[in-house]
Each structure stands twice: as structure tokens, then as C-alpha cells.
Amino acid sequence: MNDLVRQHTGLDDSDLEWLHLLVSEWQLLSDLSFADLVLWVPTLDGTRYVSVAQMRPNTGPTSYQDDMVGHLVPRGRRPMLDAALDEGRIVREGDPEWRDEVPVRVESIPVRREGRVLGVIARNTNLLTVRTPSRLELTYLQSASDLAQMIAAGSFPFPAEQVDMDAAPRAGDGLIRLDADGIVQYASPNALSAYHRLGLAADIVGLHLGATTAELAPARGPVDEAMVKLASGWAPREAEVEGGDGVIQLRTIPLRPKGTHIGSLVLLRDVTELRRRERELMTKDATIREIHHRVKNNLQTVAALLRLQARRMDSDKAREALEEAVRRVGSIAIVHETLSQNLDERVEFDDIADRVLSMVAEISPGRVTARRTGRFGILTAEVATPLAMVLTELLQNALEHGFGPGESGTVEVGATAGRDKLIITVQDNGRGLPEGFNPQRAGNLGLQIVRTLVVGELSGTFDMVPAPGGGTKVVLELPAEA
């Protein structure tokens, strides 16, 4: 719609924003009218109309099999559009049109904003299945007529009301029509069922909806005046009401077709099962986070015990082995700590990589600088845990074997995320690889862990090569599926 409006019309950004607001709401008008809606806007030179949006009803058959968006028609070909645009009134005169042997009633509704007519909505009703309307259909049609008059007067939609239309109730979910005093004049079967689930035993027609809703909600001291006003329909609002064994979502739309409040529409949906599932998921999420938190605590306890044992070892090799084990356990604990703070089993791995860098760099304070370039992005727990272990081993290997006592240098971890794979490099400017070194067969424990995790757990590849300018470069390639 943005492209069509800017290409063909003279409307400014504020006008375009009004059309967007209208289009976000007009599914309700389409459903209540049992009709297709097409929004026509006059072109900049005033000689044609361009269709910038279209909506089909959920409550009846469509009048258009084809997509009308982008069509251009010259002025004069559709007189009802001309009359609605020029006179600023709803035009209903004329005989039905025949389209593919289907009779279609056409009406034109001017779209007004701040006294100016921006365009015209063509409302097209398929008359092939017309029959004697029921009470529900009559209520729908009367409500649609009121909304159409409000659009023509520029009082609908409501600019201050921000509604998530994907989550908001629709006409078919449940509809209640109130008079100017908030008394229920009509309630659809779905709406009545929703209120019965809240605990209403009688018919809702004839009751004051605001007072009835406040009584059904759990008692919290004085009567909730805000709830009374909401359900009475005096202002456009959206809220949820929980009572009895049910939860319903309410949306109120005041009806002021001629500037006077004549009543309101209340759209409602029974969201009891949806909220129950959400609570179950929240409970499960909280349980999973608590498990990760406890695993992290247990791993930190293991690391502390290993650290205590290392301090009591007389053998330098034994002490170094235990300190390596402490860092391995610590890298896993970092992942679980991050997972304990998230709502799902996915983590921002850049933070984990930075913490691993800090942890491993402690073994060579002041001598070697470790840093990260690039972004790992968000990874699943199944990938983050082994990858944190791999980074720990590679960094530890670089710091211990790439630099001698007192030597300074840098170790850089790089990450490049592509469409098909994640490429990770660990590069240092140290001594480099020994003569005849084969990274695929080297027998030290750290490299064995790296090979096992990269190839077996992450389905990737691992290689160590001389770095340009001296030092060692480790390259890991992990597939996108991992």
C-alpha cells in the first residue's frame, strides 16, 4: 500500500498512516457486512482511482476471485465512487452488478480524515446466497452500517487505540450489542457461552454488561469501576476478565455514527484454554530455568572441589591437570548460567565466548591479550555447550603452547556466520606449530576433546595451520543445521 499511495496519489505520510490504521481495523467491517472491501484512492491528477488494499469476509462468500490491489480505473467508469468522493456521503443507489453470473450489491463509503475525503471503500456483497436474515445477521448488518457512517464522518478508526489485530477478538468469536446505557440488546451464541463459562447462569440480554462483568470477576474489595466502564462500552478499550472457570478477552467499540453515542459493540473471545496452556508453559519454563541454575551451582561446586584438590597436590603435572579440569567444568557452567536466565533453550553465544576468553586468560595474566571479533549469534543449548568446551580447549592450548614464560602476544577468536555454515577461527602470533605436527592425530587430551566434540557432536570440521606472519590458526567449520 505504501508504494501504491506514494506512486499514484498526493496523500502525505499522516494520511497514509490513517489508511494503515483503517486497514488494520476493516476486517471487522467486512465480517459484519458479509462483504468484500476494496479501498480506492484518487490519483494525483484526479483522472483515475487506484486500489490500494482489499479485504475478503470470513462470514460469507467473496465477490472477487481475483486480487484487485494495484488496479487502476478511470474516473467516470464507476459513478458510485465519483459520487462518494465528490459528495462525501455513503452511496447505495443503483442495481446489483453481475460478475461471472453472480449478482453483487455495490456500495461506496467515503474515507474521511479531518474534514477531507482521502478515498472510497467499495463494499461488494455477494447476493447469490441471500435469504431471510437471522437476528444475528441483522445485528451484524446494523453494526456494519453504524461503523460505515463513522468512517464516512472520520470518527473511526480510533487513532489513540493501539490494538494487536492478530490477537484481538473478531466478530465470529463473540459479539454483544449494547444500547447507550450499556444494556445488552443482543448477544451471539458464542458470546453467551463465554459468559456462561465465567459463571453467568441466566440469559445476558437485558442486563447491564459492565455491572454483570464486574460481579462475575473475582471480588477485590469495592466494585471495579474501571471494569464497569470498560464493559459498558463508553470508550475503545481491550482487557481480559477472569472469573469462575473461564477467561474472556473483551474489546469494546463505541458507536457514534452521527456524533452521538448510541451504544457499542463488544467483541469477545473465550481464551480459557489458551491462558491455561500459557500458564503451563510458564511453569515448565520456570522449571527448566531452575534446573539449569542448579546444574550451574553443582558444576561450580565440582570446580571448587577440584581447585581445592589442586592446591594440595605436590606434583606440578597433577596440579595443572586439575586446573585444566576446573576450566573445562567452568565453561559448561557458564552455558548453564546463561540458560538459567533465558526463556528458551537458546543463548546469545557472544557473551559466553567473552566470558570463556576472560576465564582462560587468567592463566597468563599480563602476558597475552585475548579478544573476539565477529559475532556468533544465537545458538541452541545443544550447540552452545560443546562449542564452549571447544573454545576453552583451543584458547588454553594457544596460551600454554604458543607462548613461553614471559612472552607477550595476542590470541584472537573470530566468528563469521554465513547462510550455510559458521566459521570460527582461533589465531595466535606465538611460536607456531612444531615440525611434522598433525592436528588430526595429535594425542594430547585437549585436542582429542576438540576433535571429538567438533566432528562427533557438532558435525563440523577442524584443522590447525600456520598463521600468516607466524603463529597458529585453528579453523572450525560448523554446518548451519548444527
pLDDT for position 343? 63
Contact between residue 258 and residue 90 where contact means Cβ atoms under 8 Å apart: no
pLDDT for position 165? 66
pLDDT for position 315? 87
pLDDT for position 214? 85
Dihedral through CA 307, CA 310, CA 312, CA 314, nearest 10?
Answer: -170
pLDDT for position 221? 46
The whole-number average pLDDT for the span 328-352 is: 80
The whole-number average pLDDT for the span 323-351 is: 80
Q: What is the pLDDT of residues 336-347, one digit of tens each?
A: 887 777 766 788
The whole-number average pLDDT for the span 144-160 is: 93
| pLDDT at position 482 over 60 | no
The whole-number average pLDDT for the span 384-400 is: 85
Three-state SS letters, the chain? CHHHHHHHCCCCHHHHHHHHHHHHHHHHHHHHHCCEEEEEEECCCCCEEEEEEEECCCCCCCCCCCCCCCCEEECCCCHHHHHHHHHCCCECCCCCEEECCEEEEEEEEEEEECCEEEEEEEEEEECCCCCCCCHHHHHHHHHHHHHHHHHHHCCCCCCCCCCCCCCCCCHHHCEEEEECCCEEEEECHHHHHHHHHHCCCCCCCCCEHHHHHHHHCCCCCCCCHHHHHHHHCCCCEEEEEEECCEEEEEEEEEECCCCCCCEEEEEEEECHHHHHHHHHHHHHHHHHHHHHHHHHHHHHHHHHHHHHHHHCCCCHHHHHHHHHHHHHHHHHHHHHHHHCCCCCCEEEHHHHHHHHHHHHHCCCCCCEEEEEEECCCEEEHHHHHHHHHHHHHHHHHHHHHCCCCCCCEEEEEEEEECCCEEEEEEEECCCCCCCCCCCCCCCCHHHHHHHHHHHHHCCCEEEEEECCCCCEEEEEEEECCC
Q: What is the pLDDT of residues 195-205, one digit of tens each?
A: 999 989 889 99
Q: Residue 401, Cβ neighbours under 10 Å: how many? A: 16
pLDDT for position 25? 92
442 vs 467, more confident: 467
- Report the percentage of the chain scoring pLDDT > 70: 94
pTM of structure: 0.65
pLDDT for position 405? 72
pLDDT for position 389? 86
- Report the percentage of the chain scoring pLDDT > 90: 40
Summary mean pLDDT of the chain: 87
| pLDDT at position 223 over 60 | no
Q: What is the pLDDT of residues 57-68, one digit of tens each?
A: 999 899 888 899
Stretch among 7-21, 49-63, 357-371 having the lowest mean pLDDT: 357-371
Q: How far apart are CA 108 and CA 39, in angstroms?
A: 10
Q: What is the pLDDT of residues 247-271, one digit of tens each?
A: 999 999 999 998 899 999 999 999 9
| pLDDT at position 443 over 70 | no
The residue behind cell 595466535 is 428
The whole-number average pLDDT for the span 38-49 is: 96
pLDDT for position 226? 64
| pLDDT at position 441 over 80 | no
Stretch among 17-31, 149-163, 209-223, 420-434 having the lowest mean pLDDT: 209-223
Half-sphere exposure for 268 (CA within 13 Å, toward CB): 33
Stretch among 60-64, 113-117, 415-419 having the lowest mean pLDDT: 415-419
